[in-house]
Amino acid sequence: MTTYQKRYAESLMNAFGPPKLTLARGEGAHVWDTDGTRYIDFLGGIAVNALGHGHPALVEAVTAQLKTLGHVSNFFATEPQIALAEKLLALLGAGEGKVFFTNSGAEANEAAFKLTRRTGRTHVVAAEGGFHGRTLGALALTSKAAYREPFEPLPGDVAFVPYGDQQALADAVTDETAAILLEPIQGEAGVEVPPEGYLAAARRIADEHGSLLWLDEVQTGMGRTGRWFAHHGTGVAPDVVTVAKGLAGGFPIGACIALGAAGELIQPGQHGTTFGGNPVACAAALAVIGTIEQEELLEHVTVLGQKLRDGLAADPRVTEVRGEGLLIGLDLADEKAADVFAAALAAGFILNNPTPTRIRLAPPLVLTEQDAAALLDAWPAILDRAGL
Ligand SMILES: Cc1ncc(COP(=O)(O)O)c(C=O)c1O
């Protein structure tokens, strides 16, 4: 055990298990540990470090805003907060709407969950395998028994249906349903892509019953899939979209975005936050969005993501590769995901093993061709070393 691991174990709650490394600094898609060993970061803080590490545009925006105005209460407005809300609505391209800023994905979902209660209904239909966060409300919307059971009873009236099954969704939604909640691609499940037409069916079913369609784009949003939002391109217009993770490239922020009439559901006194909408976090998000636009990263993400998927799938020990853009999941021929993670780390690559058979990649959107090629070159040896 290193000194850091010992100090960590003695001072931090054991919520995450022992840390794999102690990281000291980063640049682009590279990070270095406290011993000076370099790793190529294919996890990006779990789909967070959109611009990688230490991007000058992000550093400058945060520094300049902190020097100018670091925090105000939500009794007051700031320009970055208004500009970011306007920008998110413009990127969504779904007409008028209203934004509530939070500090995380779970809080964005809490805000949306409360908003759905303002319809006068309480029933929510969510998907098995979905993940929406760890607060009691977000957990109530998350199906995984191991996460839920130690904390029951959770806020109720949530039904779970198999993800991707239109008929199951149609059967579960009634005139009492406040909202259907879905991830456009399930991230934590190991990058589960629904069948074509699933989101459109969810929209139809929601309309039939006067329910809201709420899309959790916390992991899939903000360019991760090569589109600003994963539901873009499906022709589906949601009522509520939640985002976080990559929004400010590592600066904590989330947003609950309600479109059309849903934007009026929360009224004064019904929700609040001290830090949500903090001007530094909003300036960081504006810098991330501006950089994605200026560096034309959506196109880069689409092209590089396809190359990575093709390269990873070329090895027969990989039985399936899924995902869009730089949100990539793959299935291994055997329950060796933990060994693949360890072998990759030993070879200088940070991956993620969300299930015993699945590997997930969610690298910075600025990942270079060379970084991607380095992983593909090392891939067969990583699988050998993992005993596959
Ligand atoms: C789809 C989705 N929703 C919500 C969350 C929770 O976000 P946070 O960890 O910022 O609370 C996550 C985190 O992994 C997520 O993937």
Would you state the pLDDT for residue 233?
Answer: 87
Beta strands 123-127 and 158-161, pairing class: parallel
Q: What is the pTM of this model?
A: 0.98
Beta strands 30-33 and 23-27, pairing class: antiparallel
pLDDT tens, residue by residue, 94-145? 899 999 999 999 999 999 999 999 999 999 999 999 999 999 999 999 999 9
Catalytic residue among 245, 251, 339, 371: 245
The per-residue pLDDT of the chain, averaged, comes to 98
Which of 213, 217, 210 is closest to 237 using CA atoms? 213
Q: Average pLDDT by consecutive 10-residue portion of the chain (388 residues)?
A: 92 96 98 98 98 98 98 98 98 96 98 98 98 98 97 96 98 98 97 98 98 98 98 96 98 98 97 98 99 98 98 98 98 98 98 97 98 98 98
Give 131 Cα–ligand 1 centroid separation in angstroms: 7
Would you state the pLDDT for residue 2?
Answer: 86
Q: For residue 216, give the 3-state DSSP assignment.
A: strand
Would you state the pLDDT for residue 302?
Answer: 98
CB 41 within 8 A of CB 49: yes
Give 104 Cα–ligand 1 centroid separation in angstroms: 7
Determine whether 237 is exposed, middle or buried from the number of CB atoms within 10 Å of its CB (0-12, 13-18, 19+).
middle
Q: Which residues line ligand 1 (CB under 6 A)?
A: 46, 104-106, 109, 131-133, 183, 187-188, 216, 218-219, 244
The phi and psi torsions of 102 (rounded to 5 degrees) equal: -130, -170
Please report, for residues 78, 90, 217, 258, 265, the alpha-carbon distance to residue 95 in angstroms, rounded to integers and kept in the order given. 23, 8, 18, 11, 17
Catalytic residue among 100, 101, 113, 131: 131
Give 46 Cα–ligand 1 centroid separation in angstroms: 9
CB 43 within 8 A of CB 20: no
Q: Is 349 a catalytic residue?
A: no
Would you state the pLDDT for residue 272?
Answer: 98
Q: Is 113 a catalytic residue?
A: no
Q: Is 245 a catalytic residue?
A: yes
Give 68 Cα–ligand 1 centroid separation in angstroms: 31
Beta strands 123-127 and 177-182, pairing class: parallel
Angle between helices 297-313 and 369-385 (to 10 degrees): 20
Listed in sequence order, the residues at least 6 apart from 363 whose beta carbon sits closer than 8 Å to its beta carbon are: 29, 40, 41, 42, 43, 44, 326, 371
